[in-house]
Structure 1
Amino acid sequence: MRNMTQLLYELKTLLINQMDDSKGRMEDTSFLKKLVLAICDAFEAEEVTYFKVDNSQQHLHIEASSKHYQDRKDIRIANFSLFNDCEPYAYNDFQIEELKDFQLYLPLKSEDELVGLLALKEGIPGSFEKITLEEGEAFSREVMKILNAAIHISEITSERRRYKKLFRVTEKIHSSMSMDAVLGEIIQTLQEVYPSFTYYLLLTHDNTNHEDLPIKDLGYDSENVAVMQAFVTGTVQIEDELIARKTNLYAPLKGKQGVYGVLQVIAPNARMFPEKEVEFITLLANTAGGALENAQLYQQSRRLISDLQFINETSHKLNLNLRLSETMEFMKEQIMHSFHADEAGFVFVLPDGTANFLPGSSEFFSSDQTGLYVDFLKEKIGSTTESLFIGDMHLKLPEKDVKYRSMMVVPMIESDQIHGYALVLHKDSYYFSFETFKLLQSLIHHTSLALANSMLREELEKMVITDHLTGLYSRSYLDEKMLESLKKDHNGTFILVDIDNFKKVNDTYGHQIGDEILIQVSMIIQSSIRETDIGARWGGEELAIYLPNVSIQVGQGIAQRIQERVSEQTNPKVTISCGVSYWTNQNRDHVKALFKRADDALYVAKNTGKNKVLVQK
């Protein structure tokens, strides 16, 4: 065995050479490995192992050894109090069962506290007896000084490297407006600085699936008290899990406006976090919190700009004087596409309080299942101007079979008057975000004037082309549509209707009942023809029907059905006479000629017994 003085000189030289070789990136673990190998060689020992002492957990952790221990775990000392009276140098006199394989023990103390233990196993029996107590004590003190110097230098270089990485990552994440990029840089930096640790990002309000990032949802009902404490108070929390033999550090991702999540750092082997590491992780988490806040604000601003563009484009489109059906169809498509809704409908509130779904609403709102939602709407809203934002309709109607669980309802208001409601549905519960709800409110608010104008314009057009008493179209509208049909259709049938003995009805019952008879006959006509057919008031008690693309045989049948229904359903009972004319594209005709032939047929019917249908000769 070499002289102690010479050995210490070699160990100090080893430290200096290590500093020089590392070029400012010295690691205490790599130096410890070389240190124990040098001691093992000098003492001609079979094995030298350096244990780091963890007084709080009462166990020894292998920091370096001249042998490779893949299976050896940390040594938990049953009677840890023996270390309190540990001699500066012990040879075959260390009564700890877990260390019985070693013969020489050199306790390493810092400020009278045991921080490490060098355990040596003899290579040549009796060789350790040559070391005197004074030499052992002096050697232990000097090795401790060398270790302290190595650890201090390692901490300085490690701290320098950490803060250099912190500066780099700060510069990088603050130049990025992508949340994924920010979170990825945080994890990458931690993995570079602490490769043996495990990391998780616990985030709030995060619905995006980040690829390859260890992200968990941070629920407000979390049972982990330390996590919630870090999130609520904005301070770092440290939690020791003795059974699992690990330590958790929870650092809040804190910005100027709030906390956006928590960074969880898991240290294995129940290691305590040194104060400087806690400080570094805290700074990194704060940097991440600020960057996340900036990225979130940037994304919010972009989303706001996109929302404003969306509202502006929609308003511009609606102000192009579209027909009501076109307006509502466009609105439905905008909402379905932008909000990813399953159904979108528009309720029009009539002056008498009744509500109907406007054309353009999705098909669901013409089905029988709509009643469930309409009834709920009437109960909750009535005539109020408040909007509804419901995450789960099943909770509101637990006894009902609810197909669509998420619902948003926004009133269409103009000049303090409610014209109707926009109703948006989705099958999944809690599907729509609150930002989506606010956007729908803003959209309906900015387009209500255009929607109201479209409704009013439709009403005015209807008033212009509609007879106010019967609800049938005006004669001018009938002329216009017949002219269009003669140009584009293949054939058509025209029916002229006259109420028999109508003057007698007025003389017997009065003009009010006469008007009622006109309304009854008009309603029978409307219910007997298609939407594409045209029922009109011809003048006085005469009514007219035009059936585009209908043959004379079918047209005559429709006229006879109307004649039969009038005699059966009117009260007081009246009858009608009908004159029928027709045209085909093989013999192009004129509107006036159709009128003339139908009028001639009606004249014959009136003068040959009435209550009959006659076709032109």
Structure 2
Amino acid sequence: MKREIELNITLKETYFELLANTVSYSYEEILTKVAASIQQIMDAPYVAFYLYDSWNKTYQLITDAMDKTIYDSKQMQTGKISGESFEFIKNTDAYTSSSVIELDTNDVKGMLVITWKEESSNQSQLFSGIIKTETEKLLDIISQNNKNEAEASNHRTLYDFTKKLFSLNSRSTILQEIINGLENRYPEFTFDILLSQDSEADHTLPVKTIKYSDDATKQVSTQAFLSGLVQIEDRVNEKNTCVYAPLTGRQAVYGVVKITAPKLIAFTELEIAFIRQFAEIAGKAIENATLYQHSEHLVADLKLINELTQKLNSNLQLSEITKLVRNQILNICHASQVGFIYFNEASNREYNILTGSTAYFTTAEGHSFAEHLHRNNQVEPLFSGNYKMNGTFSYQSVMVIPMRHSGENYGLIAIMHEEAYFFTFEIYKLMQSLVQHSALSIMNTILKEKLEMSVITDYLTQLYTREYLEEKINYHMQTDENGILILLDIDDFKQINDTFGHKTGDQVLTQISSIIKEHTDTEGVAARWGGEELAIYLPNADDLVGYQLARLICELVKDNTDPGVTLSCGVSSWNSQMPDSADQLFVRTDQALYDAKNSGKNNIVLSR
């Protein structure tokens, strides 16, 4: 009994010391040390680890500590091994017996092979039980650590993949990047992308159209497409394994990515989860590009309607479209005022006066009139030559024509004149036709600009993305004389999240972003650099301007955030007289921010 207790304690101490140093050792190195420790503790001539390789479906010798004269093979095919014999161990006079200890934890399956000296063989079964229990505990902990590291690596890979794909608008380029990502992950596998619709992808890419038929529904690829779930197929005749992952967007499934292994293998749950997330990201990117390209096609198709629509679509800027429509209205009916009133997201709760409206709609009276129309839910056309409204209103002839598309009311175009009964009914009908033809163009342009903005805008803060900021800095460094970059980091932001929750943390970020946007001029670029770091680039500005702006924002943030936070800032500049690059500017500014954080926070450091 004493021997068993000593063995248990010794193993625990040895394994604990190994766990304390897992960062310093690889998985195989730890198992090597375990084998050597068991050999030393038990005075065993032979100790070896065999672990089950689920991909190759074989037990693989990972490490051993042994007398080489008793060793024959480095690989044993799949099979359950138990009992007191092991076929490739040569029994000798000195080594009278061997044990095969089966190891089976949540994530690890394998065997520990031990040969015993004659004096220990009568207690081998008891010793084996103690060794099995403690070793399985050790492998469980190590396996979980390895799993956590693998998951973290997967998250980084998926983040980089998302960042790359969501910056693209071309379906063909996105499909190429999907294949590139899969080839980097599985260099020995082959891939196919089965899309639900025809694609203009490069013919060299393995892109096909998914089949629709009664027989096709029996195919695993079609099952994955219809169910939206990952499917696995072991094809025994072809001696390979296929994984089918649906390309799922927010609105639909756009196809299936097929991953073919060169042999029959068992994919782990962790790998299946990675493939599923990879395909979901790819599906959303395809969806975004499809929506973006679809909006472009819609705007382009409007050119066929009539001469006015062709002019509208010749310039896709919303301000120019509304200006063209406004001028056309003024020229046709000689109106005094024209206003474009857009209902945000058809919510009937908010409205915007679009650029292109006449100056009247920027006045208090103009806003009051727009509010009156919105509040009264003016969804039907209005034609009046003697219009009355409470309060001051200077116009008697009023035409209000809804901007409609597909049964939805997106806003109004108001046309007015001071004289009573100024507009004829024929003019009113003409204006209805003009608005009908113009409304679709206006709505599609709003949608397109929103889509374009969403690509370069951070969803939470509504600041520009880091990629857009870098693009603008590179442009300005080629065309301007100088410029300034400010990096701002929220001090102790983790404490805000830990104390008040991530929702409050997001609110703090949006509060600070609003302050930054309010005090960044139209030439400047305010962006989310990453996490709680924000950035401002000011073209044609020097150190003094940058420092003053950073100081102003720091003070405003300190006094106007709830819960209150402070900022640390790094400021750096460039000028065309000195050799420089955007990357060097980023490094200098980042170092200045680092110095600001290390000098007590709530501080501004100007790079020299």
Normalised by the length of structure 2, the TM-score is 0.48
Return the index of the structure with the highest Cα Rg: 1
